[in-house]
Structure 1
Amino acid sequence: MKLGLQMGYWQKGPIPNMVGLAQEAEDLGYDSVFTGEAYGSDALTPLTWIGAHTSKIRLGTSVMQISARTPACAAMSALTLDHMSNGRLTLGIGVSGPQVVEGWYGQPFNRPLERTREWIDIFRQVIAREGPVTLNGKQYQLPLKGGMNLGKPLKSITHPLRSHIPVFLGAEGPKNVALAAEQFDGWLPMFVSPYRMDIYDDSLKNKPEGFEIPVSINIHLNDNLDEALLPTKWMLALYLGGMGAKNDNFHKNLMGRMGFGDAAQEVQDIYMSGDIEKAVNAVPDALADEISLSGPKDRIKERIQDWKKTDVTSLIVGRKETAEESLDVVRFMAEVTL
């Protein structure tokens, strides 16, 4: 099993010691480093900065939101960064959710599966550079129908370094996971339990040879297990209660498929009533424990063995609040995994 480093997206300001942390991970033998975006810092600029200060580690986005960029624009950025990093780019993409897509980007969220299929079609055409890019889709048309009627099919001026740049799909729902297995090089899941991977068996039945499943996971070192689980419980309460509409929350739906539906509904109800601390306490310890690596070091060493029995190809280690804490976790995971 490989290791990666999850930088995620910035909060109020830049990530402390971002470059130094990536360099340490590279020196320790980490396979990849990922950046993300929500509605603040973007994913590609920090990744480019990291790429300029490293030489071997794979560079990934987890995830780049497809509503933020047309597929041709994303392909331009990807082929540029792939050249500049000497072929180290892996692009992770996702549809985000309706609150961000419609509230931040001002784009419609309807028919996300259709939009993703058309998006990756255009992206692949640009990178392959076998001819002018065309698509007569429902979400995208190249050339555009209407407007000034002066558009013409174009082919990238710049020759990509590679004719195929790996693209992973961030997905939670069964149909989206199936799409990842059918048309992408890998799948970026959320909230994965190594003991409940069977819920994805049907969706992943068509995954090809070499299909990658990197799982982002938070590591909480603490001899007191209850205290170690608290950060994950706070995170779950936020995603269940504050990251999605009440009647359309992808994360809550996933918790239901994992067998925690009643608890997830309770957490959402309490969170939306305004009692956030009570919502945190309502998150089941078992759920927080299964999707993280928490507790004393020896316990975490044992739990890593359970991950190695799954189809997961990489554990993507989440960074901590401070640079010092992040370095401790990065070094610990390299010691016990690599």
Structure 2
Amino acid sequence: MGAVVSKDQSVITALENQDAGELRTALKDLTTAELRNVCKAYIPDDENQCTVLHYATWQDNTDLLAPLLDYVDDFEVRDGLGWTPLMTAVNRGSKQNASMLLARGALIDCDWAGGMSLIADAMNYNDVELVTMLMDHGARVIPTSEMLADGEDQNAFYLLHYAVDDGLYDIAKLLIEKGRIPLNTLDQAGWGAIHLAAGHNNIEMLTLLMEKGADINIKDSQGNTPLSWAREMNAIGAIQELEKRGASADREWHGEKPELKTPEERAEETYPEEEYTEDVESEQWQGASNGIEFDRFDIEVEDPKLKAQESLNGKDSNMFDALQHQRTLPAQATY
């Protein structure tokens, strides 16, 4: 598909201006065939080959996306980074646009992982409604046995571990109750979700896991129980709660001490405060393409098939954060 022809520039400008009236006027000047082509046409000179449909989806405005949907003949069209419009909507946290795309038949398996990476991305917003929507449309929350059997399978997203590690109580509850996600699975680092809850001293999460049937004496890959984690991390509340329920622990810690960070600490490491001055931030969020000014946004753009494994390269999986060991830093994309 070539670049958008000049007479369709008004469509792009309307999307840039987020003006639904302007968009409707621009669409009236196009034939049905032209409308079908403009939906999947690339923005001129955009290095990531952003299509008009992707750009409309990113606006998080149903009035901008809806007028285009009747003319889309391929909801799986991918931009130059391999993203479908549904992937774009989820990464934008746009429930409305994601809902419209799913209603039109957008594939939940566009991420090559049965929708698991879509849910992982939706969890970044701690949005129970968005996660529920994806699950209702068939998104997988449990890795297949084949994924789990292969310790290097980069599609084996451990969603409950993500939720526990980030303290997303409502998401964790949803995954357990609606998704019936197993509670005693060890992730690629060899840790159980309950180990993370104990180590973080998250009593609410720890109680949820225990009340839903998590094994309070499950051992990580080094042989440490949740009580061992709580003691090693000096998590007083977790120690008291586990001991009250009869949990056990060896006298000595086995292996190296895991490094647990709060979401705030991870964010600080990922985006050091000193790197973001007002001038830099302004440069990041304003851009131009072929004379067209529009918002920039940063999204996670790596191939979902590579996301998990890339983050493991060159690291001791027992010595870094459970979430970070599967989610790498987002690449930069400009739309």
Q: Do Structure 1 and Structure 2 share a fold, with TM-score over 0.5? A: no
Between Structure 1 and Structure 2, the one with more strand by share is 1
Bigger radius of gyration among the two:
2
TM-score of the two chains, using structure 2 as the length reference: 0.28
Which is helix-richer, 1 or 2? 2
